[in-house]
Structure 1
Amino acid sequence: MNDVLFNAFGHDFTALELILAGVGLLLVLAVAALVGSWRASQKRAVEAARIAERNQEMERHLADLMRVQSEMTGRMHTMSEIFGSRTSDLAKALTDRIDSASHRMGQTVNESRTKTEESLSKLNERLAVIDRAQANISELSNEMVSLRDILANKQSRGAFGQGRMEAIISDGLPSSSFQFQATLSNNSRPDCLVLMPNKAPDLVVDAKFPLESWQRINDAQDAVELKGAMTQFRTDMTKHIKDISEKYLIAGETQDTAFMFVPSEAIFADIHEKFDDLVQKALRMRVVIVSPSLLMLSIQVIQALLRDVKMREQAHIIQQEVTNLLADVGRLSDRVHKLQNHFQQANRDVEQILISTGKVTKRGERIEQLEFEEPKGMIEGDG
């Protein structure tokens, strides 16, 4: 046992030492194992305590969750009831509103339909008016085409001016106060001769206006054509004015002034604006250029003169009628005075009758009250 088994680190190790060292090592290992086991058991106990604590905490949390869940369930039930009630109210309100909206929509649709029908009716009326206006425009267009055709022909243009002049004079004067195409002492034939009153010289009206020359002015395409057309128109007008002055102004037979009729107000205005020299020349030659309105005004003046002459011719008849009227008024005045006297006498008679009826009334009242004595101042048989 004491034999040296080996030498290590300068020490000889025997078997006994080795055994003791092994036993000590085993003891150390056993103690270490025990210590490790105790520590492990302590650790497990701590862990178990922790787990138990956690379980208790989890149980408390679970209980809280169950309580919260129960409360939530109650609240959800309450909310479900409230929601159901609110949903029912909302559905009812929506139904009412939908019904009201449907009713209003129906009324709106009916009103819109009524207004639409009225609008369509008015539109149809306006369309009918437009159709009539269009028909009138078409007729006017046809008439304008006819007028253009008339103005395109020289003879037609002359007839157009003659027709307008004759219409104005025929409308304004009696048929005995004018003559168309009358023959003068020099064998000239003016378009119209207005017969003046009191055997005064007659008034000549000429309607042969040179419309062809005027049309060339309107149809001119450039300044050269316009200048030539204006020169030609001035020449034709001068010749026509001269012809009227020389042919129709006859001393003692016609007035010392003649009318040259222009069948358009626009042409009349353009002549006075662009050809003032022609107007002045015509006045110097005792020819007055007249438009339809001026001719109508002149005819109205002549008509007034004719009425004045007729009134003067009938003046003695009027005076006799006035004398007769005054005599009738005198007789009427006498009769009124007589009637007034009758009325006054009738009024006096009525007053006497009223006095008598008053006395009769008083006597009747006394009889009714049994008063038979005659009152003082009453004269028997009076009234």
Structure 2
Amino acid sequence: MSLLLRDELKTNRTELSESLRESRRELAEGLERMSLSLGEKLGQINDSSQKAARENREELAKSLHQFQETFTNNVRDFNELQKQKFDDMARRQDELVKATEQKLEKMRETVDEKLHKTLEERLGQSFKLVSERLEAVQKGLGEMQVLANGVGDLKNVLSNVKTRGLLGEIQLGNILEQIMSSEQYEANVITRKGASEVVEFAIKLPGRDDSGTPVYLPIDAKFPQADYLRLQNAFESGDKSMIDAETKNLVAAIKKSAKDIRDKYLDPPHTTDFGIMFLPVEGLYAEVVRQEDLLVTLQRDYKVIVTGPTTLAAMLNSLQMGFKTLAIQKRSSEVWNVLAAVKGEFAKFGDVLEKARKKLNEADRELDSLVGTRTRMMMSKLKKIEKLPAAGQNALSEGKAGDIFEDDFDETDSPNE
């Protein structure tokens, strides 16, 4: 920027010098033209004077000296006038040069000031903008570094078969945990008797009998990432032959996974006659669904149903509704059993109540009989007693009559006993 300013100032000075040089040249030319014109006029005057002198020599002889003096004075005045004019022109030229220099100096100062101010502002703005951009770039680089590290970690996870399978297993476990209760499924279950293969998850369905033994529905997560990525790369390249080849490879990998589920985990009647293959990526599931007759082939030949995260959640919700309906049915049967038991107990209660009523009637009859017999015996005893002696009255008043009655009762009861 400073080099550009120097060049511009140098150009301005050059143009100013050329302008001054041109002014001086024009002034010199004007002076030269004026001198020529003056010479021509002087020649003409001289010619006219000589002609007049020749014509009027006699007449002018007397006045020649006067004319010569007049002419000399005129020339001297003319020279003085020319000198004065030249001095005025020189003075004006000096003033013009000085004024021009002053204006140029002011212009230079103004230009320098404006350029300096503008340069400072522009440089300040530029430095500020550059600083902000550098900060943004540095921040972006930091974010890109974090993103690159995350992508690298994700790539490492997805490139490792074991961790990739673990990722699908974790996602499957999260879906089951959100929808099903812990009593409705198990993890790491051996579903085939006598086998050692462990399925990742199995849903416990009610058994066919009342023994409480569940029937397992195996669910296994599969993620053929390499085949899926190669197919995506083929789609991006647009090569039809490559797309067809990679599609066949993906279909073969899905069929192999379905065959593994069928051979390792299905064992009717201990398990259902079908299993579930869980694909943890919706794009992969959509690609499998897009293949013609692949889902039908997997269900018919391998007894495997393919699901993605969304479809598995819908299927588990349906199973959950089935579990609730089954629980209601079981509860209703329990209620009927309780009512039947209550009905039987109520019949027994009626029999017991009838027996108790009979016992009460017998006791009432016995009580009536006992009261009547005792009353008659007591009355017969009392009829024999016309008047109590004084000792008997005292005994009765002292409360000994009860003993007498008790003795009588004992005497009367002894024969019956």
So what's the TM-score if we normalise by structure 2?
0.44
**Greater helix fraction, Structure 1 or Structure 2:** 2
Normalised by the length of structure 1, the TM-score is 0.47
